[in-house]
Structure 1
Amino acid sequence: MRRTHLGAWAFGLVLAASPALAPQTLARAHDAIASRSDAATLLVDWQASGPVDVYLATRPDAPLANARPVARAVRSGHAKVRAAATPRPYVLLRDRSDGRVTTVAERMLPLAQGSNFRDLGGYPAADGKTVRWGLIYRSGATPLLSPADIAMVRGLGLTTMVDLRSDEERRLAPTRLAGQIHQDAVPYSMMALFAGNHGKVTGNGGALYRQFPTLLAPQVRLVFDRLKAHAGPIEYNCSAGQDRTGFMTALILSALGTPRAVILQDYDLSTALRHPEWEMPRIDAATAASDPVARLFAGYQANPAMARPQPLHDPDGRTFLASALDEIDTRYGSVEGYLDKVAGVSAADIAALRKAYTE
């Protein structure tokens, strides 16, 4: 299958790549996309020079012999695939010209009461490979999942969920998956995020992100320890699935060799794919009066503007995440240098991670 850039990303969000980025994005992640048109239908688009056979599987590593044929010798670069959200569907595209198979799935899980729960699969990685689907997930908090949502997430086969939230957030909005999937977290107070500003609440932005390499170092070690164990699919999350989770995602994708431009584009997806209404239960006045973190979130809930995801850019248009990555480059030379010094992720570990999580 010819590796050709598609300007459309999963779930209907369109991000046009600049000519300068085009050579980096001629990768498998961009020549096939899948998005859900309704509860029972996936729309799959790709580019190829010849006919393609379309198959449906319930595992990303399923051989063609175990997948169900959907369509033969398709030349249009488009297919409608009848597939419910559970069990999670994976579409396999076999190029008849060379027999090569490309796997594609929905970027975001279609949860009814979840926020920002998405798969890192399909992104370009080192040595012309791509990140494997179905192994690494990022998300917002999960305190209000519906029973069907819980079943969908359980069906992912997650071995670990790493909660990047503070003690207060986890207490105010406990996940509905507790007791069903192994949970990991680093104990800390959310007020520690404000300690560098004399205890005052710092507005989100590049200045706060520049503190992430230091403030989130214990969480980075935890997540990479779990990844290095290669025990199976992993999920990590914060409250909105954009800031702490976005920083962690940038480190993981960097370690796997994903170009930084693609990492920043994935980060920007968080604005469109967030659902703040499902990230925190309503906080009552009594709780807000006795807990400063509860009061902070209650203020968000009372502010109509905060019901809509906010752009993750400083006034000059620069993404918040870029500031965190600049801080790493300045202090450590590279993400790999940071991971080595702060999280104990050696060059040999990087090679092993790429072997396990890319194809």
Structure 2
Amino acid sequence: MSSLSALSSPPFVAVEGVINVRTIGGYRTDASHIVNPKLVFRSGEVSGITETGKQQLVALGIHRVFDMRTNLEINSYKTPSPNIPGVEFVPVPVGKEDPWEAGSIEKRLKHFQENELEAFVKDAQETLEIGAPAFEAIFRHFLERPSEPCLFNCTAGKDRTGLVAALILMLIGVDDADIKKDYALTTVGLEPEHEKLALRLQNIPVFRDNWKGATNMGSSKEESMAAILAMIREKYGGAAGYLTAFTRLEEKDLDVIRSNLLTEA
């Protein structure tokens, strides 16, 4: 299947002006249940949405969007959240406010160049531990608004977004093969905007000067997610262990969330 055909097929959905938009539903958890495909959506930044895209977003039933970008990202790229009547944008920033401080980002890029898998795991663990309040806000939506579809996004809809999606799917019992597949679909989802995103990074000297590391950091391979899932199990005992340790959610809440996100196959 071509990338164009894939983007026109589930789990991708059309929201004009927004990149990498798809449901994380449809995956089986057992013989009789799947993740409800009408409740949880993921994407890249929503700031470029068109008037047609706004109508498409609302038609999906989405009235709440969780934006994981930092203020620095939003201000640097001049990409504030749009105004869409009936849609609430909830800022849940995940990341250091100055992630591009020259020495820090250069060190990260060199790590991605020298040991890509190790770098992905390190970044994921840091994100989980500094981003717990944001993750709690998103999961609490599933607890408190079970019938209201929502969307969560970061800039490209790859790593922070991918980590939330992985936690959701892991929590409700989706097979690792499908979680890895969901992450790798970002390669398809970003293809139409790949050149634009690359140019954005090439305008930042530290990325331009460490392009191999930047390229590795921008990938979305199944083996990267496999390593992250292994880390989540080893460090936290799985998604439930992470959520009960780093958020105020309790096991009884997670049971309700599991039930809320499933539907009969």
**TM-based fold match above 0.5:** yes
The answer on 1:122 being equivalent to 2:26 is yes
The answer on 1:273 being equivalent to 2:175 is no
Structure 2 unaligned residues grouped into runs of 5+: 113-118
- Contact in 2 for aligned 1:124/1:258 (Cα 8 Å): yes
Q: Which residue of 1 aligns with 2:260?
A: 356
Q: Which residue of 2 aligns with 1:223?
A: 138
2: CA distance, partners of 1:127 / 1:351: 19
Match of 1:185 among 91, 98, 104: 91
Q: Which residue of 2 aligns with 1:165?
A: 69
More strand by percentage: 1
- Contact in 2 for aligned 1:109/1:117 (Cα 8 Å): yes
1: CA distance, partners of 2:250 / 2:31: 19
Structure 1 unaligned residues grouped into runs of 5+: 1-7, 14-34, 37-104, 284-292
2: CA distance, partners of 1:356 / 1:279: 38
Secondary structure class of the residue paired with 1:130: strand
Match of 1:242 among 146, 158, 170: 158
Distance change >3 Å, CA 173–CA 230, structure 1 → 2: same
Q: Which residue of 2 aligns with 1:140?
A: 44
Match of 2:225 among 321, 337, 352: 321
Flag the structure with larger Rg: 1
2: CA distance, partners of 1:211 / 1:127: 35
2: CA distance, partners of 1:330 / 1:189: 23
**What code does the residue aligned with 2:160 have?**
R
Distance change >3 Å, CA 271–CA 260, structure 1 → 2: same
1: CA distance, partners of 2:206 / 2:58: 30
Equivalent residues in 2 for 1:1-359, closer than 5 Å: 12-13=5-6, 36=8, 106-126=10-30, 128-171=32-75, 172-177=78-83, 180-187=86-93, 190-191=96-97, 193=99, 199-201=104-106, 202-203=108-109, 205-206=119-120, 207-231=122-146, 232-274=148-190, 275-276=192-193, 296=204, 310-313=218-221, 319-359=223-263
Per-residue CA shift, 1:208-241, capped at 9, x if unaligned? 2232221321211111111111251111000000
Secondary structure class of the residue paired with 2:47: coil
2: CA distance, partners of 1:339 / 1:247: 13
- Deviation of 1:126 after TM superposition, in Å, equals 4.9
Secondary structure class of the residue paired with 2:104: coil
- Deviation of 1:190 after TM superposition, in Å, equals 4.0
Distance change >3 Å, CA 111–CA 184, structure 1 → 2: closer
2: CA distance, partners of 1:118 / 1:278: 21
What TM-score comes out, normalization by structure 2 length? 0.77
**What code does the residue aligned with 2:165 have?**
T
Distance change >3 Å, CA 10–CA 249, structure 1 → 2: farther
What TM-score comes out, normalization by structure 1 length? 0.58
- Deviation of 1:243 after TM superposition, in Å, equals 0.6
1: CA distance, partners of 2:194 / 2:158: 15
2: CA distance, partners of 1:225 / 1:294: 37
Q: Percent identity?
A: 21
- Contact in 2 for aligned 1:107/1:119 (Cα 8 Å): yes
Distance change >3 Å, CA 297–CA 337, structure 1 → 2: farther
Per-residue CA shift, 1:313-355, capped at 9, x if unaligned? 4xxxx63333332322222222211111112333222221122
Distance change >3 Å, CA 278–CA 106, structure 1 → 2: farther
1: CA distance, partners of 2:130 / 2:196: 22
Secondary structure class of the residue paired with 2:42: strand
1: CA distance, partners of 2:87 / 2:252: 29
Q: How many residues align?
A: 243
1: CA distance, partners of 2:27 / 2:94: 32
Question: Could you say which structure has the greater relative contact order, defined with CA pairs below 8 angstroms and 6 or more residues apart?
Answer: 2
- Deviation of 1:10 after TM superposition, in Å, equals 10
**What code does the residue aligned with 2:130 have?**
L
**What code does the residue aligned with 1:199 have?**
S
Q: Which residue of 1 aligns with 2:115?
A: none
Distance change >3 Å, CA 344–CA 245, structure 1 → 2: same
**CA RMSD after TM alignment:** 3.5
